[in-house]
Amino acid sequence: MERIKIVEGGLSARDLRVGIVAARFNEFVVESLVRGAVDSFRRHGGEDRDVTLVRVPGAWEIPLAVDRLAGAGGVDAIVALGAVIRGATPHFDYVAGECAKGMSAAGARHGLPVAFGVLTTDTIEQALERAGTKAGNKGADAMLSVIEMANLLRQLEA
């Protein structure tokens, strides 16, 4: 193992520029995710002036905004935040599925780390648990994953 070259990204947000694309739908939940993501960025050494927050109506609209933001070239990584909560109709499956597929395609198209911080839950309670209560804050987790990935990509380019 000593001879294996290990490449991994660190968790310092110093000198990183990040975009946050956040849905307004289920705003009560999503705002907690946004707060968690920003807090995580600051705690890891990031500066507020290096954060661009883009708001969109709902999770369905996230991929297009991620694509444009990534294409504009001003950020090193993007965190997508939303909450899709299952209702009585199949609407959930379309919104959650297209949101996930679209944002992963946008990340791949532009070679940029994009974190999937979109909650997909059966109930509002499950969403709240993941937005800063019992099960942590998935916005903070998503931010950590893009910090690591952005640093990893820098190392792989060097």
* Interaction between residue 127 and ligand INI (CB under 6 A): no
**Those residues with Cβ within 8 angstroms of residue 62's Cβ, 6 or more apart along the chain or in another chain:** 21, 23, 56, 80, 82, 99, 102, 103, 118
Question: What is the number of other CB atoms lying within 10 angstroms of the CB of residue 114?
Answer: 28
Question: Does 82 interact with ligand INI (rule: CB under 6 A)?
Answer: yes
Q: Applying CB under 6 A, which of residues 85, 103, 128, 146 lies at the interface with ligand INI?
A: 85
Of 94, 32, 27, the residue nearest 63 (C-alpha)? 94
| Binding segment (CB under 6 A) for ligand INI, from list 14-22, 41-49, 54-62, 109-117 | 54-62
Site membership for ligand INI, residue 116 (CB under 6 A): no
> Per CB under 6 A, does 23 bind ligand INI?
yes
Output phi, psi for 15, to 5 deg. Answer: 70, 10
Tell me how far, at minimum, the Cβ of 100 lies from ligand INI, in Å. 12
Residue 80's DSSP bridge partners are 21, 116
Q: Is 110 a catalytic residue?
A: no
Q: Which tokens is 101 given?
A: 């597929």
Active-site residues: which are they? 91
The footprint of ligand INI (CB under 6 A) covers 23, 25-26, 57-61, 82-85, 87, 91-92, 95
